[in-house]
A and B are shown apart, each in its own frame.
Chain A
């Protein structure tokens, strides 16, 4: 019956890359006689789209069509070392390694093309469509595949490149905590609107409006996928999810998807986001990274909205109906009537 609405906000930073560094990743690139470039890695794709964004970075740096860049991962017999996919490090670290390898391969490619075209390598450029052209003289060109064939069968040369990226390891000063704990900083700010049923204690997230600043986006659709997926995970963390509902006690731990509550499509709020791109100083093309941070901002924004709606100060996760009802009961208690609350306007819908 009594449904109360509230609004809350939160703003966060996220340090991307394995925090203390010392986490190298390598990439090898070679042109085959098919005209394709193969990027060999041992990096993993968790669904965030690594195989796609790495191909994009490779194609961009090489200056060749996206479809001609093949990603060969992840096999420790064929791919060089990678520390792994975590800490929003993959696009940053592997991307940098791929850029370095691609630049080396591109130089080898242009050297051969220069011989074939009887031009200086400095006067050549890749047109992105599979050809190498003499700058300003569009009819003097050679295709990438012909260059690859010439390199192999005529010049006896390889077109290949090696790349590695490593942020040097930072040691932590045990007394002061002095350290270098980030590669770059991404940011987010979320405004959440919730409706709380004061009788059942149930919370419904009505909307999440967020701004993300993630450096250069490699693939905006994939960034959007991270933002939306992370937001729903954030709703889950804020309102439902735990493996130990009576923590610290271990009883009644959920064993299946029916007991472990996660938000489904019915719990989707209205979601809107804007993405700002301030290039980072050290990511490939100014990338910062996004995957890890996307649940972080919705969680406090939602809880702040609940506190705003109810005039309480809930400080625990998840905010289950029981937590809401207990907070309301405590608010009614005489000793707790003066709790300061955030001064967002509170509207009552019924």
Chain B
């Protein structure tokens, strides 16, 4: 089997695939001819700026726009009453629910920076000045920031479901159950436990998130956007605005860095609405401050590992309780937690696995997708835990990974049979590159044959 794969790789003879041809967009980039969304300008274009919550959790008593309206160049304000289907969740397109996030806050704000009202003005300066003149009457509420605190009885409730966790088919977490961990712990010579913590991280693309919406003569709206997913943004915008999908025309494809930060459908709905309400082109591009603090970060995670290990280094049971800080709303985190749950036991074959992965709501900025979706911080924790196991058992860090490495044909905790696996070969190649001499018995291993030394 392995030999076949290797031969297939060796005999391929492609003309273009596998060649380092020059980038298609390279000339545009080096001459500055590439048009990014911020470069789109229309005569008569309005600028949109958000009124945002200065506090992480509050009841909204009232918002007073009277001074803002007096700013020269002010055009109009949009509030939640203007948004046809104000409460949404982006992954409703693939069946994730319930809807939970307001496009514009209704009676409560749940994170610092949450949009409360949109101001439209003739110039960006006027829009900013008007935003600064909006008077907010807020009643601050106790906030919760720690994922485990949020799950305790009596914690301030963030979500409208009445519980601070995403409900997975009636369960408080995404569960994976494989084998019997208690039995595994009983067989183990060592129990290795550790908790790993990470903080929210910003994508920091050099181009900030944004779009320009332009009403067309035929009644449709063209939206230029730097979304990573054009139809995803179109579909959500149509649903939020309750307009037929046919009315919208999205154009994009050139993105100044995404890394997962531009899949939130966060500027298009309100900007399209503004264009429809005013009949004028409208531009809404995040400032760097918004990109840093309001755009969704990589969620913070807490992961608790409890492993049962035999003295020859085999992991016989792994129990993981993990918490993703989703912040105030779903966005992509419920889906990320499922991907996380499938991978958090690591690229190791373990007979008994028990995983409880929680998607927790707090008063943080909502987290979302980020390069490595749900897996990056799992990999961080797994690989630190592997070093701890190695040290506990008294084995070399390489050895412990080879001993437990998953291979083709192994059943994984989610019960899919592993295929396309080359974990051992990858480690062998890295060791060689780093000048680390692996012992013979590790060099003899491969991903296809559990007992053999040779491929095939």
Residue A168 CB within 8 A of the other chain: no
- In the complex, the answer to whether A189 meets B430 with C-beta atoms within 8 Å is yes
For A243, what are the chain B residues with a Cβ–Cβ distance below 8 Å?
199-202, 292-293, 297, 365
Q: Which of A1-55 contact B (CB under 8 A)?
A: 8-15, 19-20, 22-23, 42-47, 49, 51-52, 55
For B373, what are the chain A residues with a Cβ–Cβ distance below 8 Å?
86-87, 292
Partner of B200, one of A59, A215, A247, A303: A247
- In the complex, the answer to whether B347 meets A11 with C-beta atoms within 8 Å is yes
Partner of B20, one of A82, A219, A257, A291: A219
Residue A227 CB within 8 A of the other chain: no
User: A237-B201, A317-B197 known; A46 and B255 CB under 8 Å?
Assistant: yes
Partner of A187, one of B6, B15, B422: B422
- In the complex, the answer to whether B433 meets A272 with C-beta atoms within 8 Å is yes
Residue A336 CB within 8 A of the other chain: no
Partner of B228, one of A59, A86, A180: A86
For B366, what are the chain A residues with a Cβ–Cβ distance below 8 Å?
none
Q: Shortest CB–CB separation between residue B45 and chain A, in angstroms?
A: 21
How far apart sit A77 and B386, CA to CA, in the bound complex (Å)? Answer: 50
- In the complex, the answer to whether B263 meets A84 with C-beta atoms within 8 Å is yes
User: A184-B420, A213-B422 known; A304 and B384 CB under 8 Å?
Assistant: yes
For A230, what are the chain B residues with a Cβ–Cβ distance below 8 Å?
371
- In the complex, the answer to whether A295 meets B387 with C-beta atoms within 8 Å is no
User: A52-B25, A272-B433, A286-B9 known; A262 and B204 CB under 8 Å?
Assistant: yes
Q: Report the interface size for chain B: residues with CB under 8 A from the other chain.
A: 128
Residue B65 CB within 8 A of the other chain: no
> Which residue on chain B has the smallest CB distance to residue A185?
B420
For A136, what are the chain B residues with a Cβ–Cβ distance below 8 Å?
none
How far apart sit A331 and B355, CA to CA, in the bound complex (Å)? Answer: 31
How far apart sit A233 and B8, CA to CA, in the bound complex (Å)? Answer: 34
For A191, what are the chain B residues with a Cβ–Cβ distance below 8 Å?
430-431, 433-434, 436
| Interface of chain A: mostly helix, strand, loop or mixed | loop
- In the complex, the answer to whether A247 meets B375 with C-beta atoms within 8 Å is no
- In the complex, the answer to whether B388 meets A179 with C-beta atoms within 8 Å is no
> Which residue on chain A has the smallest CB distance to residue B261?
A46
Residue B99 CB within 8 A of the other chain: no
- In the complex, the answer to whether B433 meets A210 with C-beta atoms within 8 Å is yes
- In the complex, the answer to whether A15 meets B375 with C-beta atoms within 8 Å is yes
Partner of B372, one of A83, A172, A292: A292
For A221, what are the chain B residues with a Cβ–Cβ distance below 8 Å?
20
User: A76-B231, A191-B436, A255-B292 known; A211 and B15 CB under 8 Å?
Assistant: no
- In the complex, the answer to whether A313 meets B380 with C-beta atoms within 8 Å is no
> Which residue on chain A has the smallest CB distance to residue B363?
A250
- In the complex, the answer to whether B433 meets A74 with C-beta atoms within 8 Å is no
- In the complex, the answer to whether A51 meets B199 with C-beta atoms within 8 Å is no
Residue A241 CB within 8 A of the other chain: yes
User: A76-B234, A184-B420, A286-B9 known; A296 and B376 CB under 8 Å?
Assistant: yes
A-B contact count (CB 8 A): 404
> Which residue on chain B has the smallest CB distance to residue A207?
B434
Q: Shortest CB–CB separation between residue A110 and chain B, in angstroms?
A: 17
Q: Which of B236-261 contact A (CB under 8 A)?
A: 248-260
Q: Shortest CB–CB separation between residue A220 and chain B, in angstroms?
A: 5
- In the complex, the answer to whether A253 meets B414 with C-beta atoms within 8 Å is no
- In the complex, the answer to whether A281 meets B253 with C-beta atoms within 8 Å is no
Q: Which of A72-110 contact B (CB under 8 A)?
A: 73-77, 79, 81-87
- In the complex, the answer to whether B200 meets A242 with C-beta atoms within 8 Å is yes
Partner of B369, one of A13, A52, A86, A247: A86
Q: Which of A147-194 contact B (CB under 8 A)?
A: 169, 172, 174-182, 184-185, 187-191
For A245, what are the chain B residues with a Cβ–Cβ distance below 8 Å?
199
Which one of A116-124, A196-204, A340-348 is at the interface? A340-348
Residues 266-298 of chain A: 1 if any B CB is under 8 Å from the residue's CB, otherwise 0?
Answer: 000000111011111100011010011111110
Residue B429 CB within 8 A of the other chain: yes
Partner of B199, one of A84, A242, A262: A242
Could you write out 22 A-B pairs with CB less than 8 Å apart?
Answer: A19-B339, A19-B342, A74-B251, A175-B175, A181-B338, A185-B421, A189-B426, A213-B425, A219-B20, A241-B202, A244-B300, A247-B199, A250-B364, A256-B288, A276-B422, A278-B6, A281-B420, A307-B387, A315-B194, A316-B197, A343-B391, A343-B397
Interface residues of A, Cβ cutoff 8 Å to B: 8-15, 19-20, 22-23, 42-47, 49, 51-52, 55-57, 59-60, 63, 66, 71, 73-77, 79, 81-87, 128, 169, 172, 174-182, 184-185, 187-191, 209-213, 215-222, 230, 233, 237, 241-245, 247-250, 253-257, 260, 262, 272-274, 276-281, 285-286, 288, 291-297, 299-301, 303-304, 307, 313, 315-318, 340-344
Known: A15-B343, A213-B425, A342-B390. 15 other contacts (CB 8 A): A11-B430, A13-B423, A44-B228, A44-B253, A49-B24, A52-B23, A177-B341, A180-B416, A185-B418, A212-B426, A248-B146, A248-B300, A286-B9, A293-B372, A304-B397
Complex A-B, nearest 3 residue pairs according to Cβ-Cβ distance, in ascending order: A84-B229, A74-B253, A177-B176
